Structures are given as C-alpha cells and as structure tokens.
Amino acid sequence: MTAPRKPQDRKPKQDDSLFSFVIDGATHDLPSAATVTDKISARAVRDSLRSEQGEVNLMFAMLDAIDGHDESRDALLDLPLSKMVSIAADWMKHSKGVGATLGE
C-alpha cells in the first residue's frame, strides 16, 4: 500500500512577476521590467537609441517608471554603477516571458 499523498496547495505560490535581489543581506523586490515598458514614452526610447549610452539611459528610464518599490529602487541606485548595472540587467532578463518587453 502506498503512503497517502500530502496536499500541495498549501505551499505559498511564488510571484514570478517580482524580481528579487539581495544587497547587504537585505532582500529587495522589483516588479517585472515588462510592467514598466508601457510607461516609457516613445521619445525616451528614441533618445536612448540615439545615445552612445542608450541601454544605460533606457535602464534608468525604466527604473524611474516603477511605481512603488521606492526602497528597493533606492538600494539599487546607491550601489556602485557596475554592480547596479549587473543587477538591472538581470532584472530586465527576468522579465522575458512575464510580459511584453521593449522591442516586442
């Protein structure tokens, strides 16, 4: 006789729409980058594409477009640039499959 199965519906569900990262032992969350793309104007995208630092400019525009999550965004912006860009790039990659991304 097999052991009775335990219900799996009591496990907390992960929210795949949030991107989590750790800074100095504290966990921070940002909404999916895909959720902010509709808040960025075509002008901001155009200006970013025309700039030599286009991807970085677009990344800052996306971070500025986030509603809420101020503490997480501030923690990210207080990092040295290379570390912040690395985490922000992971944030943008995380959004793939969660919703529309720029260029789609």
Kindly state whether residue 13 falls inside one of the protein's structural domains. no
C-beta neighbour count of 12 within 10 angstroms: 5
Q: What pLDDT does 49 receive?
A: 82
Indicate whether 11 belongs to any domain.
Answer: no
Tokens describing residue 53: 């630092």
Give how many domains the chain has, as a whole number: 1
The one-character DSSP state at 33 is G
Residue span of the structural domain in which 32 resides: 19-94
Give the pLDDT band (50/70/90) at residue 47.
Answer: confident
Q: What is the pLDDT of residue 57?
A: 83
**Please, are residues 66 and 74 in contact by the beta-carbon 8 Å criterion?**
no
The answer as to whether 35 is a domain residue is yes
For 91, how many CA atoms within 13 A lie in the half-sphere containing its CB?
Answer: 29
Is residue 14 in a domain?
Answer: no
pLDDT digits (tens, 9 = 90+) for 51-66: 777 778 888 888 999 9
Q: Which residues contact 68 (CB under 8 A, 6 or more apart)?
A: 31
Whether residue 57 is contained in a domain is answered as yes
Query: Is 102 a domain residue?
Result: no
pLDDT confidence of 78, banded at 50, 70, 90? very high
Q: Is 10 domain-assigned?
A: no
